[in-house]
Amino acid sequence: MIGKFPLKSSEFTKSTLTLVIGTGIAQSIPFLLQPFLRRIYTPEDFGAISVFLSILAVISIVSSLRYEVAILLPKEDKDAANVFFLSVLINLAFAVLGWIVLYIFLDAIITLINFPAKYAHFLYLLPLASLFFSVYQSVNYWLTRQKLFRHLQKIRLYEEVLKAAFKFHWDYCKFRVDCFGETWLEM
């Protein structure tokens, strides 16, 4: 019965299975790391990173003006590539503008969002993180347009591995900044 399954060897089935398996493996990494992360970080740390990620999600949507979605629309790859680069340039402009706004209004922003002061220096990473996330989204749409689903699977797996490494490295950075923060931030 399984041998007569008509979609068994179709391109759609292979692409779908590739994405499902890759996404499943990638999503299991944070789940497996939770017991270790809960021993490293305090609830205040988790709260600060949650606020950071929430702001990042909103900023990433606004900063790209959602041009990355338009990468799929043009009939010609040349036009899609132009939309891709336009999306990246818009993201870069918003990242520079965001960094300037943070540099000028950091204290007001911290007060407005009630962000813990000891983590305030991490807000300077918002424009850079937004730029990386938005470019990542643009690349995902480009790869989807090109039907390079194996590359999408690898990127999602690498993304989760990098996130895990960043989560463990965040603790090291937090320790260094707490000990040497004023000297480091004045440079």
SS3 annotation, the chain: CHHHCCCCCCHHHHHHHHHHHHHHHHHHHHHHHHHHHHHHCCHHHHHHHHHHHHHHHHHHHHHHCCHHHHHHCCCCHHHHHHHHHHHHHHHHHHHHHHHHHHHHHHHHHHHHHCCCHHHHHHHHHHHHHHHHHHHHHHHHHHHHHCCCHHHHHHHHHHHHHHHHHHHHHHHHHHHHHHHHHHHHHHC
d(CA 126, CA 147) in angstroms, rounded, equals: 31
Please give the span between the terminal C-alpha atoms of the chain, in angstroms, as a whole number: 69
pLDDT computed for residue 171 by the predictor: 60
Greater model confidence, 34 or 133: 133
| Structural tokens at position 44 | 């205040």
Average pLDDT, stretch 22-27? 77
Average pLDDT of the chain to the nearest whole number? 80
Give percent above pLDDT 90 in the chain.
26
pLDDT computed for residue 7 by the predictor: 55
| pLDDT category of residue 168 using cuts at 50, 70 and 90 | low
d(CA 71, CA 38) in angstroms, rounded, equals: 39
d(CA 132, CA 125) in angstroms, rounded, equals: 11
pLDDT computed for residue 184 by the predictor: 38
Give percent above pLDDT 70 in the chain.
84
The burial class, CB within 10 Å (0-12 / 13-18 / 19+), for 18 is: middle
Greater model confidence, 164 or 85: 85
Greater model confidence, 174 or 104: 104
pLDDT digits (tens, 9 = 90+) for 88-130: 999 999 999 999 999 999 999 999 988 888 888 888 989 998 9
pTM, 2 dp? 0.72
pLDDT digits (tens, 9 = 90+) for 26-67: 778 778 878 887 887 788 888 888 888 888 889 988 888 888
pLDDT(179) > 90 = no
